[in-house]
Structure 1
Amino acid sequence: MNEQLRTLDHFKASAIDMAVRFGPKVVVAIVILMAGYLLGRWVGRMTERLLRRLKFEAPVRVLLVRAAHLIVFGFFVILALQNLGVELLPLIAGLGVAGAGVALAMQGILGNVAAGLTIIFTRPFHVGDYLSIGAEEGEVLDVTLFSTTLGHTDRSKVIIPNRKIVGEIMHNYGSIRQLDLSVGVSYGTDMEVAYRLVTAILAENTRVLKDPAPVIAVSNLGEFAVAICVKPWVNVPDYVAASGEINRAILETFRREGVEMPVPQREIRMLGA
């Protein structure tokens, strides 16, 4: 019984000694962490305002705001550990060795992260732009640290790892695209009439942009017809729909106005043996 009482007294004395020695340090460490969290949120809000002024896309803003918050909070975590008397050099050395092993095992992921940071800071394209990268093309729907998502007119999506984008030849159409249409008319057609009809068709189509101005010109003198190229500008989401609407309007208008659109013909003569 006496032995148990002495053990309990020893435990109480040790607990009181630990509380006296480390209690104030723990309280100060908690205060430091709370201050770091609050300061990190304030820095995040300031970063958000700055990035909005610089017109960064929403995914990029979220990433950079979180990074700023974590950096500030991480600095205060180091201060809290130092206040508790934790030796940081051995901890940093251990983290360095572990980080090297993780880096070797995650080369592909880290490559995507590095490429994602390159895209974020160089900004070769924005959300809403229409890109062509290698065999893939589409409208940019989202840009993250690891990948970029392209959307097609058939509502499908292509997710491309960022390391497949950086360093590749990229065609950025921006937010508008130019249609490349063509219509053939006979050599006897009054070209001024054909130009006037096509111009009126484009002016009536609400998808066609007024600026830049459409291009209407003779593109080829073919064997059977004169080819007129019709190249109006439209917004990226209207590309497919506008193409169909304009082709139909040209066909119906030319038929109504009597503009001949010849089809290829071959004359075959049979010679007697």
Structure 2
Amino acid sequence: MQETMNQVGAGLTSLKTTLVEFAVRYGLQILGACVIVFVGFKVAGYLTRMLDAWLEKKTTVDIALRTLIVRLLRFVVVGATIVIAAEKIGVPVASLIAGLGVAGVGIGLAMQGVLSNLIAGMTIFFLKPFKVGEYIDVLKEHGEVVDITLFSTTLRHTDQSLIVIPNRQISGEILHNYGTKRQLDIEIGIAHASDLGKAIDVATETVLADGRVLKEPAPLIGIRKVGDFALTISARPWVPVPDYEQAHLGLYRALVEAFRERGIDIPLPQREIRVVHAETGATRAALGAPVVKVN
């Protein structure tokens, strides 16, 4: 028992001696590396905030590209900080970088999809086929662009759901960009006997009275088609993307109420049936046609 206790005590003494020697030899280096990392991260945060504020105030750089530039600056500063800290504690940085380069080839082959998204994201950032805040239609998906990153693009649908599309799926596809405004397509039927000039004037006045409707380009309002029981009034104004759904619903109500107040009829579907010739039973019998009796 005593021998075991002596062995444990010797082991603890040896461990203590090793730790003391390690602290004496590397303590200052580790402390210096920690200070370098702390200062580096603080400097990275300060520089990125300064750059972001400058780009926002002094330039017209798109928000997505601005975010990319800020993130790249932070990545460079943090990466340089880690390299300097590693060199401070004696890590062979040159050998480490060479090893990472060799490993990067294998990682690149294993992550071809990610790299494809990265390249497509860079293409989107610099060619700018669309920007944040615009409404696009691509790959049978549509919505307002709310975020663009190096790897994916996020759309917000009109029901407030989010659609995340990998950038490699977007690059090279046919893309419909509506911009920051969309055109409504509203149709309301009026009676054939209605005063067309009055109806178009009422529709124009009602549409322009809505604060969400853009004055430029001017709304398109007129007769879309002549139907069997109604003339179709078409109103096609432009509204900002965020107001599309609310303006669509609000203008339908406003137009119906305006037509009712101004005495413009909105007819229901109807058919006119005329009896050209009515034959009696005797006439049908004389002609040899069967006579059907209903009890």
TM-score between the two structures when normalised by the length of structure 1: 0.76
183 and 46 in structure 1: CA distance in 2 versus 1, 3 angstrom threshold: same
Aligned residues: percent identity? 42
Shift of 1:258: 3.2
Worse-superposed segment, 224-233 or 24-33: 24-33
84 and 156 in structure 1: CA distance in 2 versus 1, 3 angstrom threshold: closer
Shift of 1:141: 2.0
TM alignment of 1:1-273, pairs within 5 A: 36-37=40-41, 39-53=43-57, 54-56=59-61, 60-75=65-80, 77-78=82-83, 87-262=92-267, 263=269, 265=271, 267=273
Q: Which amino acid is 1:52 matched to?
A: E
Partner of residue 4, structure 2: none
- Aligned-residue Cα RMSD (Å) equals 3.7
Shift of 1:136: 0.5
46 and 245 in structure 1: CA distance in 2 versus 1, 3 angstrom threshold: closer
Q: Which amino acid is 1:146 matched to?
A: F
Name which one, 1 or 2, has greater alpha-carbon Rg: 2
Shift of 1:228: 2.7
Q: For the residues of structure 2 that align with 1:125 and 1:182, how far apart are their CA atoms? A: 30
Shift of 1:230: 0.6
Provide, for residues 187-224 of structure 1, a one-character-per-residue CA deviation record: whole Å limited to 9, x for no partner.
Answer: 44322101111012113323322333211123334454
Shift of 1:101: 1.3
Q: Which amino acid is 2:55 matched to?
A: L
Equivalent residues of 2:184, 2:237 under 8 A apart: yes
Q: Which amino acid is 2:52 matched to?
A: E
Q: Which amino acid is 1:51 matched to?
A: L
TM-score between the two structures when normalised by the length of structure 2: 0.71
Equivalent residues of 2:64, 2:132 under 8 A apart: no
For the residue of structure 2 that corresponds to 1:142, the secondary structure is: strand
Structure 1 unmatched ranges of 5 or more: 1-7
Shift of 1:35: 6.5
Q: For the residues of structure 2 that align with 1:136 and 1:264, how far apart are their CA atoms? A: 39
Provide, for residues 161-193 of structure 1, a one-character-per-residue CA deviation record: whole Å limited to 9, x for no partner.
Answer: 121122221112122211011233344432210
Shift of 1:240: 1.9
Q: Which amino acid is 1:156 matched to?
A: S
Provide, for residues 244-273 of structure 1, a one-character-per-residue CA deviation record: whole Å limited to 9, x for no partner.
Answer: 222223233323433244536364768777
Shift of 1:24: 8.4
In the alignment of these two chains, the number of paired residues is: 265
Provide, for residues 124-179 of structure 1, a one-character-per-residue CA deviation record: whole Å limited to 9, x for no partner.
Answer: 32222111112111112222232222112222221111211222211121222110
Partner of residue 4, structure 1: none
Shift of 1:36: 4.9
Structure 2 unmatched ranges of 5 or more: 1-12, 280-288, 290-295
